[in-house]
Structure 1
Amino acid sequence: MKRIILTTESGADLPEELAKKYEIQVVPMHVIMGGKDYLDGSLPVQEIYSYYDRTQQIPSTTSTNTHEYHNFFTRINQDFADCTIVHIGYTSKASSSFHNAVLASEDFDNLYLIDALNVTGGLTAIVMYAAKLLEDEPSIEAEALVEKIKTSIPKARLAFIPGSLDFLKAGGRVSNFAYLGGTLLKLKPRIELVDGLLLSNKKYRGKMNKVSEKLMHDYFTEYNIDQEQLYLIYSVGLDEGIKERASAIAKDYGFKNIHWMQAGAVISTHSGPGGFGIAGIEV
């Protein structure tokens, strides 16, 4: 029986301890800042915010290219002889990364590709669902595992609130009218992944300490999330008191394993500092 190796992109923000525990291989995406190309994970997130403060410009992001994927899959085959690779990718509707993985896959006959239609904590939730399946059923065949992973994709729920509208405005993701309205009324958009696309479907009014609690209560009311795993996401700058309160709320709702995830450089170019999010999979 061939060993199954799970892979994903850095845009999953998969916590390092989970990647190590389950030997999940992560390929970096890219951040372009000041004319230089940085691999996601090699650049401290705070430098992105400092760059914006200096220039009023946000860095751009680019996908993992076909050559990088080819090298990535080749290395895995060298490190894990006679393995099967199951790659769970960043939503194809927000990046060309998955398409590039498809192109690279033509040279490999032991590779399965899954478009997770999700990012950050939502993508991590799907990857960890797969890791738990492998842990519970180590003899599962790759085809059966892939089919089970695919059933989890429409059940993955990610919702987050940017810490500031400045990054969304600078990146052209909100109009000046919406930006001014949101700033004056102190409105914060709730953003979710719907069919692989980032959409704002609700707005909250107030400071992040209150808004984050409201998001959590709404999230748990709207979605019947599996209580075995919950992922709470923060971007650098989120108050520690908010994190402590969020953990307490999650425990009050009966969640057994609560994992905090820091938004990496790719995600932080979209969410800005002080953001908060939540992700899990419905039962």
Structure 2
Amino acid sequence: MSKIVFSTESVADLPKHLIEKYQIQEIPMHVIIDGKDYLESELSVEQVYDYYSRTKKIPSTTSTNAYEYHHFFSKISKDFPNHMIIHLGYTSRSSGSFQSAVIAAKNFENLFLIDTLNVTGGLATIVMYAAKVLEEDPTIDHFQLIEKIESILPKTRLAFIPDSLDFLRAGGRVSNAAFIGGTLLKIKPCIELIEGKLVPTRKYHGNMNNVAKKLMHDYLTQYNIDRKQLNLVYSLGLDERIKRNMEIMAKENGFENIEWIQGGPTISTHSGPGCFGISGIEH
């Protein structure tokens, strides 16, 4: 039987029950509020929202450094002796965290790094896929497993829509003019993960309930997603009625398993409350 353990970053936003089931090892990123550096695991999404309410600013986020990665990988090696570590990292094109992992990895012979070129629910989708492959074939060789994981990276699709432009403006990602125009016209940008980068691909108009339906329709029309699994991504504040509607819509489109993934403090810093997204793997 293969002895393999997976690690990833907290910004994968994996549900706790999956972390426990598959013994996924997570390393936290950093969120800075009022000059204080918090590990993401020490902070709640509500604190991020409260900070914005008080200051009209968003917290800053920083990547994990090489020293932290060295300690992280050392602990895994100690806790899982004679295991191969496969680290599924946050896209290197949006953060320096993966490069820190590369520096730390030089000291470990039992470690393989994979740049997933993905974030939040997209990264979670890849981790879940890897864990399920290992679960279904516990004897798989780690080289075969890595090959399987790498084969689905370009086929993993993530798209999401923020409910408002407030946090994007506070973070300098949209101008004041674009913010005012977008607010008046009720424009909600669709942002997709393309080749490791977050890219605005289309604009929707209207309330979040209607926009979420349009996103689901367009996403499933554009991508031939494997019906075995669909992951629905959200940030705290999304209306429960919208969540129910999206789950019904996913089931009507033939998805066997649906998992809700809540954005943590780091992702919520950029998306703001009420964000909705979708992630899956193409055939």
Q: TM-score w.r.t. structure 1 length?
A: 0.98
Query: 1:90 corresponds to which residue?
Result: 90
Query: 1:46 corresponds to which residue?
Result: 46
Distance 1:226 1:14 in 2: 20
Percent sequence identity is: 61
Distance 1:228 1:65 in 2: 36
Distance 2:171 2:79 in 1: 39
Query: 1:12 corresponds to which residue?
Result: 12
Distance 1:77 1:129 in 2: 23
Report the residue type matching 2:275 in the other structure. G
Structure 2: segments with no counterpart, 5+ residues: none
Q: Is 1:58 the counterpart of 2:58 in the alignment?
A: yes
RMSD, matched Cα: 0.9
Distance 1:98 1:106 in 2: 13
User: SS at the partner of 1:38?
Assistant: strand
Count of aligned residue pairs for this structure pair:
283
My pick for the range that moved more, 261-270 or 134-143, is: 134-143
1:166-224 Cα shifts (integer Å, max 9, x gaps): 10011011122221221111100000001000010100000001101110011111111
User: SS at the partner of 1:192?
Assistant: strand
Alignment of 1:1-283 (within 5 A): 2-283=2-283
Report the residue type matching 1:107 in the other structure. N
Distance 1:256 1:150 in 2: 24
Q: TM-score w.r.t. structure 2 length?
A: 0.98
Report the residue type matching 1:103 in the other structure. I
Distance 2:280 2:70 in 1: 31
Q: CA deviation at 1:41?
A: 2.5
User: SS at the partner of 1:41?
Assistant: helix
Distance 1:165 1:91 in 2: 24
User: SS at the partner of 1:19?
Assistant: helix
Report the residue type matching 1:148 in the other structure. K
Q: Is the CA contact (8 Å cut-off) linking 1:121 and 1:158 kept in structure 2?
A: yes
Report the residue type matching 1:68 in the other structure. E
Q: Is the CA contact (8 Å cut-off) linking 1:2 and 1:82 kept in structure 2?
A: no
Structure 1: segments with no counterpart, 5+ residues: none
Q: Is the CA contact (8 Å cut-off) linking 2:2 and 2:140 kept in structure 1?
A: no
1:200-252 Cα shifts (integer Å, max 9, x gaps): 01000000011011100111111111111111111111111000111100000
Report the residue type matching 2:266 in the other structure. V
Report the residue type matching 2:222 in the other structure. E
Distance 2:251 2:38 in 1: 37
Q: Is the CA contact (8 Å cut-off) linking 1:120 and 1:267 kept in structure 2?
A: yes
